Amino acid sequence: MKRIISIIIIAVLLIGVVLVLKKNHEKINKPRVSGPISNVVSVNITEAKEMTSTHNLHLTGTLIPVTEVNIAAQTQGQITSLNVELGQHKSKGSVIATIDNHLKQLAVKSAAVTVSKLKRDLERYENLLTGGSATEQQVDDIRNNYESAKIQYEQAKKQLEDATIISPISGVITTKQVEKGSFINVGNPIASIVDISRLKIKISVSESNIYQIKKGDKAKITSDIYPEHSFDGHISFISDKGDDTHNYPVEIEMPNNGKFPLKAGTFVNAEVTIPGQTLALYIPRAALQGSSQDARVFVVENGKAVLKKIVVGMGTDADLEILSGLKMGDKVVTTGQINLSDGKSVKIVESK
């Protein structure tokens, strides 16, 4: 009997535990009932307003040397000396290389002897002509030979000079194509030299902006290499012919700063100020939806968000110029757009 009573008590306890666990499970998994979902989105707005605009063109490009020269041989022969190394600075007029010139020296001496002889002959025959012992034809022949010999002498001297290759500019050696002892022909490259005391930037400017700039306009040059320093440049060339995409080649020239030196090939930004100030409509850049080519903004009208297509122009990091699509005083949404759709009800939290 006691055993039966114990079994009954244990069974009752187990049933009680199961009932308690079931009740807790139902309580935990009971669906939460929330209040009605709000159809109103809270937003911040600002009004489109007119501001004085000084247009700046923001362009990017790569620095290239203003002057770069490929030094080539002017005569053929074996290189007997070579005075260049990569990265070496050479002054204008300094000797780059010499080519075997022994035969050229002999040619100059021979031509000089011929010129000297014919000069004496010409003087003698002119005296003979005066005394009637020579004819004018003889004098003319000697004179022609003398003039021809002088030309041959100058040619021999030029060939001898060409055997000594000099630097046409001051700059730094960037390539070296030959070694001492090499045999070269006329036109064979020897080395390249660049002058980076002045640098230039080749950029492309759109048709809508090309007519607003002119040669000599100032430019502000910046680089990530020296983020806290800027360089002064000016437009040195504007092409009269655009490409198939209506972009025009433009060059900006700048001096290389000795304190903040730049190298050719460095990526830079150029900012060109377009003269003149005008009133233009602006909105915060934060209001922009989509890209500048497919620009849209939300405008609050009668408590609802209206999605409008706009055309944007120039801008800064903070503001965008509006060319069309908005008018002054339009309430443009600056925050909260992520929850908006066209026609959605809005609540203005902050207005600037």
What is the pLDDT at residue 28? 56
- Mean pLDDT, range 57-74, rounded to an integer: 90
**Would the pLDDT of 36 be above 50?**
no
- In this structure, what is the dihedral angle of CA atoms 314, 319, 322, 325, given to the nearest 10 degrees? 140
Q: Which two tokens stand for residue 212?
A: 């607003």
**Would the pLDDT of 31 be above 50?**
no
pLDDT digits (tens, 9 = 90+) for 191-219: 999 999 999 999 888 887 888 889 999 99
**Would the pLDDT of 317 be above 90?**
no
Assign 6 a pLDDT band (cuts: 50, 70, 90). low
Q: Which two tokens stand for residue 253?
A: 């020239």
**Would the pLDDT of 182 be above 80?**
yes
The Cα 132–Cα 113 span in angstroms is 28
pTM of the entire structure? 0.56
**Would the pLDDT of 312 be above 80?**
yes
The Cα 156–Cα 109 span in angstroms is 9
What domains sit in the chain, N to C, each tagged with a CATH number? 43-53+278-351 (2.40.420.20), 57-65+195-273 (2.40.30.170), 69-189 (2.40.50.100)
**Would the pLDDT of 69 be above 60?**
yes
What is the pLDDT at residue 33? 41
**Among residues of the chain, what percentage have pLDDT more than 90?**
61
What is the pLDDT at residue 3? 66
From the number of C-beta atoms within 10 Å of its C-beta (0-12, 13-18, 19+), residue 270 rates as buried
What is the pLDDT at residue 96? 95
What is the pLDDT at residue 301? 93
What is the pLDDT at residue 34? 46
Residues recorded for the chain: 352
Highest-scoring range by mean pLDDT, 153-157, 202-206, 273-277: 153-157
What is the pLDDT at residue 131? 85
The pair phi, psi for residue 125, each rounded to 5°, is -70, -30
The Cα-based distances of 74 to 95, 101, 181 in angstroms read: 14, 12, 17
- Mean pLDDT, range 279-301, rounded to an integer: 88
The pair phi, psi for residue 17, each rounded to 5°, is -65, -45
Assign 231 a pLDDT band (cuts: 50, 70, 90). very high
What is the pLDDT at residue 19? 67
DSSP string covering 78-91, please? EEEEE---TT-EE-
Q: Of the ranges 5-9, 99-103, 106-110, which one carries the lowest mean pLDDT score? A: 5-9
**Would the pLDDT of 35 be above 70?**
no
